[in-house]
Structure 1
Amino acid sequence: MEGAILPNLPNTRVAVVTGGNKGIGFEVCRQLASGGISVVLTARDEMRGGEAVERLNALGLSHVVFHQLEITDASSAAALAGFLKTRFGKLDILVNNAAVGGVEYGQEFDTNEEKFSGLDFHERVEWMLKNAREPIDSAKNSVKTNYYGTKHVIEALLPLLQASSEGRIVNVSSNYGLLRHIGSEEVRQELNDVDNLTEGRLDDLLEKFIKDFKAGELEMHGWSTKFSAYKVAKAAMNAYSRILARRHPELRVNCAHPGFVKTDMSMGSGVLTPEEGARNLVKVALLPDGGPTGAYFAMGEEAPFV
C-alpha cells in the first residue's frame, strides 16, 4: 500500500495529512479526497495507515495512498519528501495533524464516551484536567512531537510547497496554545512579537520550559501547570507559523483549532465528532487564493492568537 501508484492527474491538487489513520486526521483525508484532491495519508504505524487507506478506497476514494511517516524522525520526513518529488513534483496542501497529548491517564480510564453523557463542555474539560498526569517524559515527548516533529515535516516539504502555485500549510493548533495560558507577561509578549522573534529564541524558551518543569518551578516562572507541555508546544508552533508566513509570503501558512473533539487524545470527552472537527480544518486548507496567512482560526473562523 505504501507509495501505491496514482493515475496521472496533472491538474489535481495534492495534499499530505499527518496522523491520518484515525480521528480528525482520517476525516481530513476523507473530506479532502471527496473534493477530488489526491491525498497522501501518513501515519507512524504502517499497518494502521494501510488499513485507513483501504477504508477510504472502499468508499470510492481511489486517489488516497499511504506513506509511512514518523514526524520526530527527520530522515522519515526526508523519505516522504523524496516520494512526493518523484511522484508529483509538488505539494499543494500540508495538514500537520499528528500530535500527542503529553499527558497520561490511569489504566481505569478508556475512551468510552458514555461516561460523559450529561456533562456539559466545562465539566468535560474539568474531568480531563482532574484526571490527567504529566510526567517529565511525557512533557519532553510533547515538545519533541508537537513542535519539533511538525517543524521537521515542514522543513522537509517546504521546497515542494514552493513548487506549487497555491501552497498551503495548516498547522493543527488548539485553544490551549493561545497566549492567555502562559502566565509570564514577558514570555507572552515575546511569543507575540513576530517581527523580532526567531527560531533560535523559540528553542531557548522551550529549553527553559523543560528546565523549569524538571525543577518543579512551572508556576514560579509563569508556565501553566495543567497540560503545560502541550500548551507551550502549541504556542511555540503558533509563533513559528507566523514566522514562516512572514518569511514565505508566496504560501498560505495558518493555524487552526478544530474544536474540542471526541478522540483518543481527549479520551472521548470532546463535544464535536471527528467529522465536525475536520471540517473546521479543511475549511482553512481550502481558503481561496490571496486569503489570510499567518492567522489563527478557531472552529473555522479567524481569531486572535491571545
Structure 2
Amino acid sequence: MFRVVVVTGANKGIGVVVVTGANKGIGYMFPSLDVMDPASVASLADFIKKQFGKLDLLVVGSKAKMLKEILKEGYEQSEACLGTNYYGVKHVTKALLPLLQKSNSARLVNLMSHERAKEELGDVNGLTEEKVDEVVKGFLKDVKEGLQESKGWPINFSIYMVSKAALNAYTRILTKTYPNIAINAVCPGSVKTYINYNCGIATVKKGAKSPVMLALMPDGGPSGIFYSCINRKNVVLI
C-alpha cells in the first residue's frame, strides 16, 4: 500500500528519514519546512494536496536544542522555544489535519516528554486550546517579569518543560477532537544525540523504535495513548 508520510524535525535528534523506491517517481523530496514561517507550512500542505490529495501519517518532532541553549532562561529564549516547539508544531498540525482526514487509515504521532508544568494542563476534561494558549502566555509574562519561581513554574529547564507540557496538552485536545485519526504520543527517553553531547542512555536506533512502531501500527490499533520509554508504561491521554 502506497502511503503518504510527513516527518517534521527529521534532520536533528533521533529523526532520520531514508527515501527509496523501486520505481522512478515514487520518492518525492518536499520543500524545506520552517514551522515558524506560515508561507513554508502552507507550501508543504499545498504540495501534498496537489501531488497526493491526502496524508496518511504525520510524525511531529519538535526542533532540537543544544543543552546549553535549553539552560538559558531569558525571555527571548523562552519565546523562541515556545514559538517552535508549541506554536510551530500546532501550526503545521492544523495545516495538515484536513489532508489526514482524507486518509482511510490516518496516523498522527507526536514526540513528547513526560512533563506536566501546571496542574491545569493535566485537567483532561477541562482542556481547551484557549486554556493551553493562556497558560503559555502566562508563562512568558512571568519570565519577562522574573516571576517564574514565585508563580510555581519549574526552576530548571523551565523553557523546555513548559513547551513540552503545552504540546502534551494540545495532543490530548486533538485526540478528543479527531476520533477518526489514530493520535498517539511517545517520549523516547534519554537518547544519545548531539543535543546532550551523546550523554544519553539509549542509541538513536533504539530511541526511534517506539515512534516507528506507533506510526506503522495496524488499523484498529490504540489511539489516545502516551507511551513513555522512561518507565516503559502506557498512559491514556483521554
The reply to whether TM is greater than 0.5 is yes
Tell me, what secondary structure is at the counterpart of 1:80?
helix
Structure 1 runs of 4+ aligned residues shifted over 6 Å read none
The equivalent of 1:159 in structure 2 is 98
Aligned Cα RMSD in Å?
2.3
Q: C-alpha separation between the residues in 2 aligned to 1:304 and 1:141? A: 30
Query: Structure 2 residue aligned with 1:140, among 75, 79, 85?
Result: 79
The equivalent of 1:231 in structure 2 is 161
Residue 69 of structure 1: how far off its partner (Å): 0.4
Tell me, what secondary structure is at the counterpart of 1:221?
coil
After TM superposition, list the pairs within 5 Å mapping 1:195-206 onto structure 2: 195-206=125-136
The equivalent of 2:46 in structure 1 is 82
Residue 304 of structure 1: how far off its partner (Å): 6.0
Contact 2:67–2:195 (Cα < 8 Å) also in 1: no
Residue 15 of structure 1: how far off its partner (Å): 0.8
Q: C-alpha separation between the residues in 2 aligned to 1:284 and 1:141? A: 29
Structure with greater helix percent: 1
Contact 1:256–1:297 (Cα < 8 Å) also in 2: yes
Query: Structure 2 residue aligned with 1:279, among 209, 217, 229?
Result: 209
Contact 2:13–2:64 (Cα < 8 Å) also in 1: no
Which ranges of structure 1 fall in alignment gaps of 5 or more residues?
1-10, 37-61, 106-127
Contact 1:252–1:292 (Cα < 8 Å) also in 2: yes
Do the aligned partners of residues 80 and 301 (structure 1) sit closer, same or farther apart at CA in structure 2, a change above 3 Å counting?
A: farther
Q: How many residues align?
A: 232
The equivalent of 2:175 in structure 1 is 245
Contact 2:66–2:194 (Cα < 8 Å) also in 1: no
The equivalent of 2:190 in structure 1 is 260
The equivalent of 2:89 in structure 1 is 150
Whether 1:194 aligns to 2:124 is yes
Q: C-alpha separation between the residues in 2 aligned to 1:261 and 1:208? A: 31
Residue 103 of structure 1: how far off its partner (Å): 5.7
Which ranges of structure 2 fall in alignment gaps of 5 or more residues?
none
TM value normalised by structure 2? 0.89
Contact 2:7–2:58 (Cα < 8 Å) also in 1: yes
Q: C-alpha separation between the residues in 1 aligned to 2:74 and 2:143? A: 9
Residue 196 of structure 1: how far off its partner (Å): 2.1
Q: C-alpha separation between the residues in 1 aligned to 2:212 and 2:142? A: 37
